[in-house]
Protein backbone atom coordinates (compact mmCIF):
# COMPACT_ATOMS: atom_id res chain seq x y z
CA UNK A 1 0.00 0.00 0.00
CA UNK A 2 2.57 2.52 1.06
CA UNK A 3 4.78 1.24 -1.71
CA UNK A 4 2.12 2.15 -4.23
CA UNK A 5 1.47 5.49 -2.61
CA UNK A 6 5.17 6.24 -2.84
CA UNK A 7 5.19 5.91 -6.58
CA UNK A 8 1.78 7.49 -7.10
CA UNK A 9 2.57 10.70 -5.25
CA UNK A 10 3.45 13.65 -7.45
CA UNK A 11 6.82 14.86 -6.32
CA UNK A 12 8.45 18.24 -6.34
CA UNK A 13 11.63 16.79 -7.78
CA UNK A 14 9.70 15.81 -10.88
CA UNK A 15 7.88 19.01 -11.68
CA UNK A 16 8.87 21.91 -9.44
CA UNK A 17 11.86 23.76 -10.75
CA UNK A 18 13.99 26.83 -10.48
CA UNK A 19 12.85 29.26 -13.13
CA UNK A 20 15.21 31.69 -14.85
CA UNK A 21 15.78 35.13 -13.35
CA UNK A 22 13.65 37.10 -15.79
CA UNK A 23 10.90 34.57 -15.54
CA UNK A 24 11.05 34.69 -11.74
CA UNK A 25 10.76 38.46 -11.78
CA UNK A 26 7.90 38.17 -14.22
CA UNK A 27 6.09 35.74 -11.92
CA UNK A 28 6.24 38.42 -9.26
CA UNK A 29 4.65 40.81 -11.74
CA UNK A 30 2.00 38.19 -12.39
CA UNK A 31 1.30 38.06 -8.65
CA UNK A 32 0.86 41.82 -8.55
CA UNK A 33 -1.35 41.70 -11.59
CA UNK A 34 -3.60 39.20 -9.82
CA UNK A 35 -4.06 41.82 -7.15
CA UNK A 36 -4.32 44.76 -9.52
CA UNK A 37 -7.08 43.17 -11.53
CA UNK A 38 -9.33 43.48 -8.50
CA UNK A 39 -8.49 47.06 -7.66
CA UNK A 40 -7.56 48.63 -10.97
CA UNK A 41 -10.33 51.23 -10.99
CA UNK A 42 -9.34 52.92 -7.76
CA UNK A 43 -5.67 52.58 -8.64
CA UNK A 44 -5.95 54.05 -12.06
CA UNK A 45 -7.99 56.85 -10.65
CA UNK A 46 -5.41 57.90 -8.12
CA UNK A 47 -2.36 57.34 -10.30
CA UNK A 48 -3.56 58.39 -13.75
CA UNK A 49 -6.25 60.92 -13.06
CA UNK A 50 -4.54 62.92 -10.38
CA UNK A 51 -2.03 64.49 -12.78
CA UNK A 52 -4.98 65.22 -15.04
CA UNK A 53 -6.56 67.36 -12.37
CA UNK A 54 -3.31 69.27 -12.28
CA UNK A 55 -3.37 69.59 -16.03
CA UNK A 56 -6.86 71.03 -16.00
CA UNK A 57 -6.18 73.36 -13.09
CA UNK A 58 -2.71 74.53 -14.11
CA UNK A 59 -2.59 74.03 -17.85
CA UNK A 60 -6.07 75.18 -18.74
CA UNK A 61 -7.26 77.20 -15.74
CA UNK A 62 -4.11 78.95 -14.60
CA UNK A 63 -2.57 78.72 -18.07
CA UNK A 64 -5.31 80.87 -19.56
CA UNK A 65 -3.78 83.77 -17.61
CA UNK A 66 -0.26 83.11 -18.95
CA UNK A 67 0.93 84.74 -22.15
CA UNK A 68 3.13 82.56 -24.35
CA UNK A 69 6.60 84.02 -24.01
CA UNK A 70 10.29 83.29 -23.86
CA UNK A 71 9.93 81.26 -20.69
CA UNK A 72 7.48 78.86 -22.36
CA UNK A 73 9.46 78.76 -25.58
CA UNK A 74 6.73 80.69 -27.28
CA UNK A 75 4.19 77.96 -26.55
CA UNK A 76 0.90 78.08 -24.75
CA UNK A 77 1.21 77.23 -21.08
CA UNK A 78 -0.88 74.08 -21.59
CA UNK A 79 1.63 72.75 -24.12
CA UNK A 80 4.48 73.80 -21.92
CA UNK A 81 3.26 72.15 -18.74
CA UNK A 82 1.60 68.95 -20.07
CA UNK A 83 4.78 66.87 -20.66
CA UNK A 84 6.27 67.87 -17.33
CA UNK A 85 3.10 67.01 -15.43
CA UNK A 86 3.28 63.59 -17.03
CA UNK A 87 6.79 63.05 -15.63
CA UNK A 88 6.07 64.64 -12.25
CA UNK A 89 3.01 62.41 -11.78
CA UNK A 90 5.05 59.40 -12.77
CA UNK A 91 7.80 60.20 -10.29
CA UNK A 92 5.33 60.68 -7.46
CA UNK A 93 3.60 57.40 -8.28
CA UNK A 94 6.90 55.59 -8.47
CA UNK A 95 8.06 56.86 -5.12
CA UNK A 96 4.70 56.10 -3.53
CA UNK A 97 4.82 52.53 -4.84
CA UNK A 98 8.36 52.07 -3.51
CA UNK A 99 7.82 53.16 0.08
CA UNK A 100 4.98 51.73 2.20
CA UNK A 101 4.09 48.87 -0.16
CA UNK A 102 7.71 47.68 -0.12
CA UNK A 103 8.11 48.13 3.62
CA UNK A 104 4.93 46.13 4.11
CA UNK A 105 6.41 43.25 2.15
CA UNK A 106 9.24 43.13 4.67
CA UNK A 107 7.47 44.12 7.83
CA UNK A 108 3.69 43.98 8.00
CA UNK A 109 2.39 41.61 5.41
CA UNK A 110 5.76 39.87 5.18
CA UNK A 111 4.87 38.47 1.79
CA UNK A 112 8.47 39.04 0.65
CA UNK A 113 9.45 36.34 3.15
CA UNK A 114 6.95 34.04 1.47
CA UNK A 115 8.32 34.77 -2.00
CA UNK A 116 11.92 34.17 -1.00
CA UNK A 117 11.10 30.86 0.64
CA UNK A 118 10.37 29.62 -2.88
CA UNK A 119 13.10 29.26 -5.53
CA UNK A 120 12.75 32.99 -6.23
CA UNK A 121 15.69 35.00 -4.86
CA UNK A 122 15.61 38.48 -3.25
CA UNK A 123 17.27 39.94 -6.35
CA UNK A 124 14.59 38.50 -8.61
CA UNK A 125 11.93 39.74 -6.24
CA UNK A 126 13.38 43.24 -6.50
CA UNK A 127 13.48 42.93 -10.27
CA UNK A 128 9.82 41.98 -10.26
CA UNK A 129 8.96 44.95 -8.07
CA UNK A 130 10.75 47.36 -10.40
CA UNK A 131 9.18 45.90 -13.53
CA UNK A 132 5.79 46.07 -11.88
CA UNK A 133 6.24 49.71 -10.96
CA UNK A 134 7.35 50.41 -14.54
CA UNK A 135 4.25 48.76 -15.96
CA UNK A 136 1.95 50.67 -13.67
CA UNK A 137 3.64 53.91 -14.63
CA UNK A 138 3.27 53.04 -18.30
CA UNK A 139 -0.42 52.38 -17.85
CA UNK A 140 -1.03 55.54 -15.83
CA UNK A 141 1.07 57.61 -18.25
CA UNK A 142 -0.82 56.28 -21.24
CA UNK A 143 -4.19 57.06 -19.70
CA UNK A 144 -2.98 60.55 -18.86
CA UNK A 145 -1.60 61.08 -22.35
CA UNK A 146 -4.82 59.97 -24.02
CA UNK A 147 -7.06 62.21 -21.99
CA UNK A 148 -4.66 65.15 -22.21
CA UNK A 149 -4.74 64.62 -25.96
CA UNK A 150 -8.49 65.22 -25.88
CA UNK A 151 -7.73 68.55 -24.23
CA UNK A 152 -5.36 69.38 -27.07
CA UNK A 153 -2.31 69.28 -24.85
CA UNK A 154 0.00 67.65 -27.39
CA UNK A 155 1.56 69.03 -30.54
CA UNK A 156 2.57 65.75 -32.16
CA UNK A 157 3.41 62.07 -31.83
CA UNK A 158 6.43 62.88 -29.65
CA UNK A 159 4.14 62.36 -26.70
CA UNK A 160 4.65 58.59 -27.03
CA UNK A 161 8.33 59.12 -26.35
CA UNK A 162 7.43 61.44 -23.48
CA UNK A 163 5.46 58.60 -21.85
CA UNK A 164 8.57 56.43 -22.09
CA UNK A 165 10.61 59.18 -20.50
CA UNK A 166 8.08 59.41 -17.69
CA UNK A 167 8.29 55.67 -17.05
CA UNK A 168 12.09 55.70 -17.12
CA UNK A 169 12.34 58.66 -14.77
CA UNK A 170 9.87 57.03 -12.39
CA UNK A 171 11.69 53.71 -12.33
CA UNK A 172 15.02 55.50 -11.85
CA UNK A 173 13.54 57.09 -8.71
CA UNK A 174 11.88 53.87 -7.58
CA UNK A 175 15.17 51.97 -7.36
CA UNK A 176 16.83 54.13 -4.67
CA UNK A 177 13.49 54.47 -2.83
CA UNK A 178 13.25 50.70 -2.59
CA UNK A 179 16.72 50.69 -1.09
CA UNK A 180 15.49 53.20 1.49
CA UNK A 181 12.40 51.10 2.19
CA UNK A 182 14.53 47.99 2.66
CA UNK A 183 16.57 49.79 5.31
CA UNK A 184 13.51 51.12 7.14
CA UNK A 185 12.73 49.22 10.31
CA UNK A 186 10.29 51.59 12.02
CA UNK A 187 6.78 52.42 10.87
CA UNK A 188 8.07 54.38 7.90
CA UNK A 189 7.92 57.86 9.38
CA UNK A 190 10.79 58.88 7.13
CA UNK A 191 8.63 58.35 4.05
CA UNK A 192 6.38 61.24 5.02
CA UNK A 193 9.44 63.42 5.47
CA UNK A 194 10.80 62.36 2.10
CA UNK A 195 7.54 63.30 0.46
CA UNK A 196 7.32 66.64 2.19
CA UNK A 197 10.93 67.76 1.96
CA UNK A 198 12.24 66.04 -1.16
CA UNK A 199 9.44 65.07 -3.50
CA UNK A 200 7.13 68.05 -3.17
CA UNK A 201 9.89 70.69 -3.52
CA UNK A 202 11.21 68.74 -6.48
CA UNK A 203 7.82 68.76 -8.18
CA UNK A 204 7.42 72.49 -7.51
CA UNK A 205 10.88 73.72 -8.41
CA UNK A 206 12.54 71.27 -10.80
CA UNK A 207 11.22 72.83 -13.96
CA UNK A 208 7.71 71.40 -13.93
CA UNK A 209 5.72 74.65 -13.77
CA UNK A 210 8.39 77.17 -14.76
CA UNK A 211 11.91 77.04 -16.19
CA UNK A 212 14.68 76.67 -13.64
CA UNK A 213 16.30 79.81 -15.05
CA UNK A 214 13.86 81.59 -12.71
CA UNK A 215 15.64 80.03 -9.74
CA UNK A 216 18.48 82.17 -8.30
CA UNK A 217 21.77 80.86 -9.75
CA UNK A 218 23.11 79.90 -6.33
CA UNK A 219 20.24 77.46 -5.77
CA UNK A 220 19.93 76.17 -9.27
CA UNK A 221 22.15 73.15 -8.64
CA UNK A 222 19.32 71.79 -6.48
CA UNK A 223 17.25 71.44 -9.63
CA UNK A 224 20.17 70.01 -11.57
CA UNK A 225 20.64 67.14 -9.17
CA UNK A 226 16.94 66.31 -9.03
CA UNK A 227 15.97 63.43 -11.32
CA UNK A 228 12.69 65.12 -12.16
CA UNK A 229 14.42 68.04 -13.88
CA UNK A 230 16.27 65.64 -16.17
CA UNK A 231 13.02 63.83 -16.90
CA UNK A 232 11.19 67.09 -17.53
CA UNK A 233 13.83 68.28 -19.97
CA UNK A 234 13.72 64.98 -21.85
CA UNK A 235 9.91 64.87 -21.94
CA UNK A 236 9.67 68.43 -23.20
CA UNK A 237 12.32 67.65 -25.77
CA UNK A 238 10.31 64.63 -26.90
CA UNK A 239 6.93 66.36 -26.98
CA UNK A 240 7.95 69.84 -28.12
CA UNK A 241 11.37 69.43 -29.73
CA UNK A 242 14.32 71.77 -29.34
CA UNK A 243 16.54 69.62 -27.12
CA UNK A 244 20.24 69.37 -28.03
CA UNK A 245 21.31 65.72 -28.59
CA UNK A 246 24.24 66.14 -26.23
CA UNK A 247 22.02 67.54 -23.51
CA UNK A 248 19.59 64.70 -24.06
CA UNK A 249 22.41 62.22 -23.67
CA UNK A 250 23.45 63.87 -20.43
CA UNK A 251 19.94 63.63 -19.01
CA UNK A 252 19.63 59.99 -20.00
CA UNK A 253 23.03 59.25 -18.49
CA UNK A 254 22.04 60.88 -15.22
CA UNK A 255 18.85 58.85 -14.96
CA UNK A 256 20.66 55.66 -15.95
CA UNK A 257 23.28 56.27 -13.29
CA UNK A 258 20.61 56.89 -10.66
CA UNK A 259 18.84 53.71 -11.65
CA UNK A 260 22.03 51.67 -11.59
CA UNK A 261 23.24 52.99 -8.25
CA UNK A 262 19.79 52.79 -6.68
CA UNK A 263 19.19 49.32 -8.07
CA UNK A 264 22.50 48.01 -6.75
CA UNK A 265 21.86 49.51 -3.34
CA UNK A 266 18.34 48.09 -3.27
CA UNK A 267 19.63 44.68 -4.27
CA UNK A 268 22.19 44.80 -1.50
CA UNK A 269 19.65 45.77 1.13
CA UNK A 270 17.01 43.32 -0.10
CA UNK A 271 19.52 40.52 0.44
CA UNK A 272 20.60 41.96 3.75
CA UNK A 273 17.06 42.08 5.02
CA UNK A 274 15.75 38.81 3.61
CA UNK A 275 18.76 36.55 4.07
CA UNK A 276 19.42 36.67 7.82
Which residues sit at the interface with other proteins, rule CB under 8 A? Answer: 2, 5-6, 8-13, 15-19, 23-24, 27, 30-31, 34-35, 109-111, 113-121, 274-276
CB closer to other proteins, 16 vs 256: 16
Q: How far is the CB of 185 from other proteins (least distance, A)?
A: 14
CB closer to other proteins, 1 vs 193: 1
Q: How far is the CB of 130 from other proteins (least distance, A)?
A: 17
Q: How far is the CB of 201 from other proteins (least distance, A)?
A: 32
Q: What is the CA radius of gyration of the chain?
A: 22
Separation CA 159–CA 24 (nearest Å): 32
CB closer to other proteins, 15 vs 65: 15
CB closer to other proteins, 11 vs 244: 11
CB closer to other proteins, 65 vs 117: 117
Separation CA 31–CA 56 (nearest Å): 35
The residues, ordered by sequence, that sit 6+ positions from 170 with a Cβ below 8 Å of its Cβ are: 87, 90, 91, 93, 94, 133, 134, 137
Q: How far is the CB of 195 from other proteins (least distance, A)?
A: 23
Estimate the share of the chain in helix, then strand, then coil, as percent rounded to the nearest 5. 80, 0, 20
Q: How far is the CB of 194 from other proteins (least distance, A)?
A: 24
Q: Which phi and psi angles does 75 have, rounded to 5°?
A: -100, 165
Amino acid sequence: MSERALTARPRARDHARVVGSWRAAWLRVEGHWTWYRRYWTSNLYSSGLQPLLFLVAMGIGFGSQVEPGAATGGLSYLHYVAPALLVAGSVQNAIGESTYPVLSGFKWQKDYLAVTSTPVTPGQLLGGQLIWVGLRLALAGTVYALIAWAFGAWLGPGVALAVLVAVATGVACAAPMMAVAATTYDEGTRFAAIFRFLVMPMVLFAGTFFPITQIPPGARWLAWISPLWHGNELARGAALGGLEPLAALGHVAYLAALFAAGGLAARHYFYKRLVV
